[in-house]
Homo-oligomer: A and B are copies of this chain.
Amino acid sequence: MLTRLEILPVPGLPEVGPGDDLAGQIIDACLTGTHTDTAGEVTPPVGLAHHDVLVVSQKVVSKAEGRQRIVDPDDPLAHKPLVLEESVRVLRRRGELIISQTKHGFICANAGIDRSNVAPDVALLLPEDSDRSARRIRDAIKHRTGIEVAVIVADTFGRPWRRGLTDIAIGSAGILPVLDLRGTADAVGRELHVTEVCIVDELAGAAELVRGKADGIAVAVIRGVNDHWFAEGSVAESIVRHPNEDLFR
């Protein structure tokens, strides 16, 4: 069989707070979470299966890990000092927009700090180490259910040259971040050269399509992913590009 994928939103995750057992909440939501729409149609639980890929929103990971910081609710720019604290280098500034390199090596707007989907007096920082966050969730699911999954922590980033944002992976566990096809032959037998495919970013973007920003669906399951893609690897090691090999910094 050729690979066919299903992308399934996971309803039923409760509002996540500091210290919550996020892995347990995700397991419960997968196994029992349903959703009833305005027409009364019910989306049944997604379940949890061997080699599912769970894409988890950065937002709930940060909330569970206590990355909330208190800011002045009446000042829309109150989080800006935090942006500079979380950055190691500012690349561009235009008006209130700061594009910087974060402590993790990500290059993004406002150091990934977010004030949507949180209380007015809260700014939410990125996890300290999203690969570790992903590993913890993956390990807890394996420990408690015996089921081997991969976990991707996803966030919404802009990019230069193209309008619109897409979800990408800021952390991962249990899956190859980049599929290295160099040295394999193409369909006409010619060697493929520059073909390292960033599958965790493609998986994160795919999951965004069913999560939606306004629906509060923080987790999606991608089912059907090639068994060969399940292996150790991290976003920090495989995807974050070293400044020396970067042409746009």
Residues of the B chain whose Cβ atoms lie less than 8 Å from the Cβ of A92: 247-248
Q: Does the CB pair B116–A163 fall under 8 Å?
A: no
A75–B156 Cα gap in the complex (Å)? Answer: 42
Q: Does the CB pair B117–A187 fall under 8 Å?
A: yes
Residues of the B chain whose Cβ atoms lie less than 8 Å from the Cβ of A208: 197, 202
A107–B94 Cα gap in the complex (Å)? Answer: 21
Q: Does the CB pair A181–B107 fall under 8 Å?
A: no
A159 CB–B CB distance under 8 Å: yes
A8 → B minimal CB distance (Å): 5
Q: Which of B6, B185, B240, B241 contacts A214 (CB 8 A)?
A: B185
Q: Does the CB pair B201–A213 fall under 8 Å?
A: no
Given contacts A166-B197, A240-B162, contact A5 B7 (CB under 8 A): yes
Residues of the B chain whose Cβ atoms lie less than 8 Å from the Cβ of A137: none
Q: Does the CB pair B202–A187 fall under 8 Å?
A: no
Q: Does the CB pair B161–A241 fall under 8 Å?
A: yes
